[in-house]
Amino acid sequence: MATPKKKQGSADYSAKDIAVLEGLEPVRKRPGMYIGSTGPDGLHHLIKEIFDNSRDEAMAGYADRIEITLLPDNSVRVVDNGRGIPVDTHPKTKVSALEVILTTLHAGGKFGGDGKGYVVSGGLHGVGASVVNALSVYMKAEVHRDGGIYVQEYNQGKPQAPVKKVGTTDKTGTIITFRADEEIFKTIAYSWKRIVDHYREQAYLVRNLAICLIDARESKDAPLPTPKKPDTVYWMKDAELQVPSTSFYFEGGIVSMVRHYNHFQKEVHKTVYYVERELEVEGQPAPVTIEVALQYVDDISPRIIAFANNIYTPGGGMHVTGFKTALTRTLNTYNKNNNVIKGGEPLTGDDVLEGLTAVISIKMPEVQFEGQTKDKLGSPEARGAVESIFGETFAEFLEEHPDDAKGILRKAELAMRARKAAKAAKDSILRKGALEGFTLPGKLADCQARDASESEIFIVEGDSAGGTAKQGRDRRTQAILPLRGKILNVERARLDKMIANNEIKSLVIALGTSIGETFDIEKIRYHKVIIATDADVDGAHIRTLLLTLFYRYFREMIEAGFLYIAQPPLYKIQKGKEIHYAYTEDEKITLLKTLGISESEMHEVDTDTEAPQDGEEAPVEAEESIENKSTSAYKIQRYKGLGEMNADELKETTMDPARRTLKQVRIEDAKEADRIFDVLMGTDVPARKSFIQGNAKVAELDL
């Protein structure tokens, strides 16, 4: 199926098989309906639509090369060596099939139960091409077929002349060139990285398909790359090119993809499991194809990368569910029969996921995607299909590869043991009432008010910031809880262990809600729980950790709108007696301009000083006044931590309800934090460090 080996000849197809449905006006009226958006996603989608047709030709066994070239005028050329789009004349309309395919919505090769036509794509063969045509100021189709070269050109989807034979050829294939319409797309800027990433993935998904990407946008006056190679239409060796290019070709398909993901990891067993099977499924007009590859590595988090009809489904869905069910069951059955893990206790679904890298690719004629972003496979047939094919063949794999089986089960056994130890630790803390009780933590400076709706708690980083915050607070309604930075050293990704941590325990007791089975939102002691961490890497780290904790164990608190993030200023700018605060880089620049401070005067005073100790004022000496000859004496200070502010400044900028801004945490923010938590807490320290450094700024802006 996914193995293009060029077949000769062709299925007997003619123009009468193409159903004519609608004109293209609706596409230009509501482009979003057809390509999702007219932003960067929609723009890149244009290439996908054209590529998908060529890829389907490859998957049907008729093409083995596809070349995508970005050209200097922002047009894109997609070349394949398939059969070529049919050019024969439609008996009723007397119009070439090529014209019908490129100018008619919903036209394409028939997809029947007769096994003819095209197995797979987001739509049908040729469907997307007309949409792209409608949204392009210019398109050209060049078909090599039946010994002839046929050409037609279009403007905004309208053919400029009938299909014309312009020459003869001994090759077959299709060349589509299009230039997106500036009236539709605000900016026409293709992202090379995005293209490379997407088509690398496609090359893994269709093994033996060569995909060549050429970025000729900068080739200016140089001759356009118009390569020749004996068995293709346009094809070029990388070495002949004078512009950036890259090619992908994977004989191993998704097995290569698994190896790629596991490249820098320690493998737990040698053999990569792989299956590809077709299956008749009720409710689907043609057989469903299932492909799975997997290998375990010495890591904690699983990577399950799943596709439906070559479309990535980060949201998972039915294929992933079926896979997980079969994985757990098969490993448990094998374990029972072979007595690998002593004790006879079954592995859970989570136990068998640790360290797993799996690629699942399902192809079915009729797919439904679900979820807000349509990134989840909804088709219920996928579940049983994957469950049965994978379950059966994975059991065979384990029988035939006892060493691999043993490695996998040993790995799952470790996960099981860790889970049990964590649970024991959690149980001892979560025993009913253990986190309730009357003893509020000593570090908490509680507020006087007893009415939760008027009470706030600031969670600050470190004792020094805690001291400043205590001085700057309104003690009637504002409580302060300092947390030590050391809560970062939570062992691996075990959140339950985190709860055993004294700092976190203090926090939970202060909130009053308890946790786990005894959690009760009604008991919360503050209706504003405010995370106030520093504007640096550690601060971002602690914030992520707290958001994750709240997301996993106090979700109701987020849903109730009780969780906030403080927005302390980044800069203090003083001009004479006037004091201003800037909360973002942009604000700083605007402020400096407003104050009449010129670019050349903009030296920052870097205060790399010790944070003040409990009760101390922030060290003013650190602020070095830059005298300015043109009378505008000013100083600018960058705050790295809350502890660098004195109590008045902290109150004025961050704490006082009348003057501060707070960012309310939405459930999506916390969910995102939860997702990156595993990276932050993973075992790979260098990766973690670079991730945090790379994302600390971004995380800041998002929240």
Q: Is 80 in the site for ligand 0RA (CB under 6 A)?
A: yes
Alpha-carbon distance values, 239 to 65, 164, 229 (Å): 17, 34, 13
Minimum distance between the CB of residue 55 and ligand 0RA, rounded to whole angstroms? 9
Only segment of 10-18, 481-489, 502-510, 570-578 that touches ligand 0RA (CB under 6 A): 10-18
Say if residue 243 is exposed, middle or buried (CB neighbours under 10 Å; 0-12, 13-18, 19+): middle
Footprint on residues 103-142 left by ligand 0RA (CB under 6 A)? 109, 125-126
Confirm if 515 and 556 have CB atoms less than 8 A apart.
no
In 3D, which of 455, 513, 452 has the Cα closest to residue 480?
A: 455
Minimum distance between the CB of residue 137 and ligand 0RA, rounded to whole angstroms? 20
First to last CA, the chain: 46
Q: Is 82 in the site for ligand 0RA (CB under 6 A)?
A: yes
In 3D, which of 56, 39, 64 has the Cα closest to residue 233?
A: 64
Only segment of 76-84, 406-414, 619-627, 649-657 that touches ligand 0RA (CB under 6 A): 76-84
- Tell me the C-alpha distance between 542 and 616, whole Å: 24
Minimum distance between the CB of residue 60 and ligand 0RA, rounded to whole angstroms? 8
Confirm if 290 and 334 have CB atoms less than 8 A apart.
no
- For 103-135, the DSSP string reads HSBT--S---TTS-S---SSS-TTHHHHHHHHT
DSSP state of 292: E
Minimum distance between the CB of residue 11 and ligand 0RA, rounded to whole angstroms? 5
Contacts of 405 (CB under 8 A, 6+ apart): 269, 334, 338, 340, 397, 398, 399
Footprint on residues 200-239 left by ligand 0RA (CB under 6 A)? none
> How many CB atoms lie under 10 A from the CB of residue 621?
7
Identity of the residue, 11 or 71, whose beta carbon is nearer to ligand 0RA in the bound complex: 11
Query: Which amino acid appears at position 303 of this protein?
Result: R
Q: Is 53 in the site for ligand 0RA (CB under 6 A)?
A: yes
Q: Is 174 in the site for ligand 0RA (CB under 6 A)?
A: yes
Contacts of 266 (CB under 8 A, 6+ apart): 297, 298
Identity of the residue, 19 or 560, whose beta carbon is nearer to ligand 0RA in the bound complex: 19
Minimum distance between the CB of residue 333 and ligand 0RA, rounded to whole angstroms? 45
Identity of the residue, 67 or 413, whose beta carbon is nearer to ligand 0RA in the bound complex: 67
Question: Annotated catalytic sites, by residue?
Answer: 461, 534, 536, 538
In 3D, which of 665, 648, 612 has the Cα closest to residue 462?
A: 612
Q: Is 365 in the site for ligand 0RA (CB under 6 A)?
A: no
Only segment of 49-57, 226-234, 237-245, 276-284 that touches ligand 0RA (CB under 6 A): 49-57
Q: Is 13 in the site for ligand 0RA (CB under 6 A)?
A: yes
Confirm if 162 and 156 have CB atoms less than 8 A apart.
no
Q: Is 54 in the site for ligand 0RA (CB under 6 A)?
A: yes
Identity of the residue, 127 or 597, whose beta carbon is nearer to ligand 0RA in the bound complex: 127
- Tell me the C-alpha distance between 309 and 213, whole Å: 22
Only segment of 51-59, 425-433, 508-516, 600-608 that touches ligand 0RA (CB under 6 A): 51-59
What is the β-pairing status of strands 456-461 and 478-483? parallel
Minimum distance between the CB of residue 141 and ligand 0RA, rounded to whole angstroms? 9
- Tell me the C-alpha distance between 233 and 82, whole Å: 10
Q: Is 81 in the site for ligand 0RA (CB under 6 A)?
A: no
Contacts of 396 (CB under 8 A, 6+ apart): none
The number of CA neighbours under 13 Å toward the Cβ of 326 is 23
Identity of the residue, 174 or 653, whose beta carbon is nearer to ligand 0RA in the bound complex: 174
Among 86, 157, 225, 253, binds ligand 0RA (CB under 6 A): 86
Q: Is 57 in the site for ligand 0RA (CB under 6 A)?
A: yes
Among 83, 144, 319, 363, binds ligand 0RA (CB under 6 A): 83
Minimum distance between the CB of residue 145 and ligand 0RA, rounded to whole angstroms? 7
Identity of the residue, 159 or 466, whose beta carbon is nearer to ligand 0RA in the bound complex: 159
Only segment of 5-13, 32-40, 227-235, 330-338 that touches ligand 0RA (CB under 6 A): 5-13
- Tell me the C-alpha distance between 597 and 550, whole Å: 43
Q: Is 11 in the site for ligand 0RA (CB under 6 A)?
A: yes
Minimum distance between the CB of residue 85 and ligand 0RA, rounded to whole angstroms? 4
Catalog residues that contact ligand 0RA under the rule CB under 6 A. Answer: 10-11, 13, 53-54, 57, 80, 82-83, 85-86, 109, 125-126, 174
